Amino acid sequence: DGGITQSPKYLFRKEGQNVTLSCEQNLNHDAMYWYRQDPGQGLRLIYYSQIVNDFQKGDIAEGYSVSREKKESFPLTVTSAQKNPTAFYLCASSISPRPGTQGYTFGSGTRLTVV
Amino acid sequence: AQSVTQPDIHITVSEGASLELRCNYSYGATPYLFWYVQSPGQGLQLLLKYFSGDTLVQGIKGFEAEFKRSQSSFNLRKPSVHWSDAAEYFCAVRTNAGKSTFGDGTTLTVKP
């Protein structure tokens, strides 16, 4: 079955360390997105990519980095510059970035905790 | 810039009762509107979408939503709620540039 796989499901990081969250899709979708979810704040866009080797900052990109070397993969690195990284991270994809008539397919998320 | 408001943070209904979750959006052009559902610790699942045509759209799990342009609303409804509907519900607007903006969500509790 096609879908989006996020790994790991739970991740613990020490302060000052970088950590990379994996997101892989086998849906042949062009567009991929990373969202951060905090209690009571809904989803906030970190980065998005509409095609391979191209990506754009979202609303809260500071302290994060991404790459899109393959269509299937869109890893997110949480750097030590991110002041408050503890959150639930969601990866999503859509068939194409335009038009906006298609909904997203989401992964099951990674919960990152800084210890 | 687009925005989405879900006025109700938490709603409690009895099993078998009807449900309406409110969503108001702000966007200058024709909006593409979505409702998603999230179970605890999981990703979001698409319930339904509206982008043109009939303003009453049907989705999965017996949900429907009505688009009202004059009120900038896209409320989600279900005639009879089941205990398994307890979850968090998100309304979203997507622009032609492809990005989506989500509301802060409404948590639904179902009483037996």
Chain A partners of B53 at a C-beta cutoff of 8 Å? none
Q: Identify the closest residue of chain A to B90 by CA–CA distance.
A: A42
Question: Both tokens of residue A108?
Answer: 């099951």
Contact (CB<8Å) A40/B44 = no
pLDDT score for A88: 96
Chain A: nearest CA to B14, how far in angstroms? 23
Instruction: Specify whether the backbone of A12 is left (phi greater than 0), alpha (psi in -120 to 50) or beta.
Output: beta
Is-contact B60 B44, C-beta < 8 A?
Answer: no
Question: Quick check: A105 contacting B, CB < 8 Å?
Answer: yes
pLDDT value, residue B22: 98
- A/B interface, count of CB pairs below 8 Å: 72
Chain A residues with CB inside 8 Å of B99's CB? 33, 45, 48, 58
Tokens 């999981």, located at residue: B42
Locate the chain A residue with the closest alpha carbon to B39. Answer: A108
Residues of B with Cβ-Cβ distance to A110 under 8 angstroms = none
Task: Please judge whether A100 and B102 are an interchain contact, meaning their C-beta atoms are less than 8 angstroms apart.
Answer: no
For B57-90, write each residue's pLDDT tens digit: 999 999 999 999 999 999 999 999 999 999 999 9
Does B9 sit within 8 Å of A40, measured CB to CB?
yes
Across chain A, mean pLDDT equals: 92
- Alpha-carbon radius of gyration of chain B: 13
pLDDT band for B95, please (50, 70, 90 cuts).
confident
pLDDT tens figures, A71-90: 999 999 999 888 899 999 99
Interface contact A104, partner B, CB < 8 A = yes
Residue appearing with tokens 């298609």: A102
Q: Percent of chain A having pLDDT more than 70?
A: 96
pLDDT band at A97 (very low <50, low <70, confident <90, very high): low
pLDDT band for position A100 (cuts 50, 70, 90): low
pLDDT value for A96: 77
Token readout for B75 is 């409320």
* Chain B: residue whose CA lies nearest to A111: B41
| Confidence at residue A99, expressed as pLDDT on a 0 to 100 scale | 61
Cα gap A111→A25, rounded to integer Å: 19
pLDDT tens figures, A17-56: 999 999 999 999 999 999 999 987 789 999 999 999 999 9
**Buried residues in B30-65 as b, exposed as e (16+ CB within 10 A):** ebbbbbbbbeeebbbbbbbbbbeeeeebebeeebbb
- Chain B residue with CA closest to A99: the answer is B96
Please report the pLDDT score of residue A39 as a whole number.
Answer: 83
